[in-house]
Copies of this chain bind each other. A is one copy, B any other.
Amino acid sequence: MLLNASGCLDALTAPETARALDAFVTKTVTPLPRAGNAPIRIVETEAGMLNSIGLANPGRERFLADVLPRLRELGVPIWVSVGGFAAGDYAETCEALDGIAAIELNLSCPNVDAASESAAEIVAACRTATDLPLVAKLSPAAWDVAEHARAVAAEGADGLSLVNTIRGLALDETTLAPRLGTAVGGLSGPALKPIALAAVHACARAVDLPIVGMGGVRTGRDALELLACGASAVALGTVLFSDPEAPVRMRAELAHELAARGLGRPEDVVGIAHEDRLRHRKPLDLARKALV
């Protein structure tokens, strides 16, 4: 299953790209409209990029009234990414959502202040507000991400999205001032890939929820690696910026990687990186709820 990473595709300006996905994930929607952060908002780093978009979005009301109906016309299952600054914010948006495939709870944007409640408390609040599948998006900026995975699983999350960006900073070569308007931004791209693999690997051992893996995926092999670490689906982020045709290419490359290794279908490789290391343990339970 192939998705875009939240904030890395606008299905309305690139419908062809969105239609090539199994589900389209919206940019994070907050209760009130947000202009986002002051420029500069993006900068390239070594094998990665920083962004400080700051959850620019039209806000819940306009999203529901103007954007969502147009997204529905695309004929692609929709996941709405929900953000906020308090558990109540999240829950209210969840309550207002209907007729979509899933809700992704953005519990981990490095570019805005976090809610005062813990990720688990937010998931608990949202769980009472909706019956839609709830996918908790976690940050790799944690000493033990698996602990957070367990906590949100206990509160009723149906899946995990791993990983969001991690805070980084870059300076201007000449002025030595931070290049981003906000100084600090979120690191994405290939530099993040080992961190994403480690997070998926750890959480797949900790909980039994399906995982959407993301972080630095550029090729079918990267997608294969996330699956092998335990992801059931893969999301494309930064790679879409250089290649709007990445979804089609990625499927072809993944099929090729699988065939070259005699490995069957994508579903069959979920978790295989664990096999050796789980030899003397309880095998991973790979039977998971489908989310779309």
Contacts and interface: CB of A to CB of B under 8 A. Distances in A.
Interface stretch (A1-9, A22-30, A126-134, A223-231): A223-231
A291 interface: no
Interface stretch (A56-64, A65-73, A85-93, A269-277): A269-277
Contacts of A269: 176
A26 to B, nearest CB: 24
Interface in A252-292: 261, 269, 272-273, 275-277
Interface residues of A, number: 47
Nearest to A173: B221
B178 A194 contact: no
A48 B191 contact: yes
Contacts of A183: 201, 277
B168 A184 contact: no
Contacts of A45: 193-194
Given A176-B228, A277-B183, A170 B194 contact: yes
A229 to B, nearest CB: 7
Most buried by B among A142, A197, A275: A197
Nearest to A205: B183
Interface in A32-57: 45-48, 50
A168 B194 contact: yes
Contacts of A81: none
A197 B169 contact: yes
A170 B197 contact: yes
Nearest to A227: B176
A190 interface: yes
Interface string A132-146: 000000011111000
A141 B166 CA distance: 9
A165 to B, nearest CB: 10
B143 A190 contact: no
A197 B168 contact: yes
Contact of A47 (B169, B191, B228, B273): B191
Given A228-B176, A273-B178, A50 B194 contact: yes
Contacts of A224: 176
Given A141-B143, A176-B224, A176-B225, 15 more contacts: A45-B193, A46-B190, A46-B194, A47-B47, A140-B141, A141-B142, A168-B197, A169-B197, A170-B194, A171-B273, A176-B269, A177-B276, A178-B273, A184-B198, A190-B191
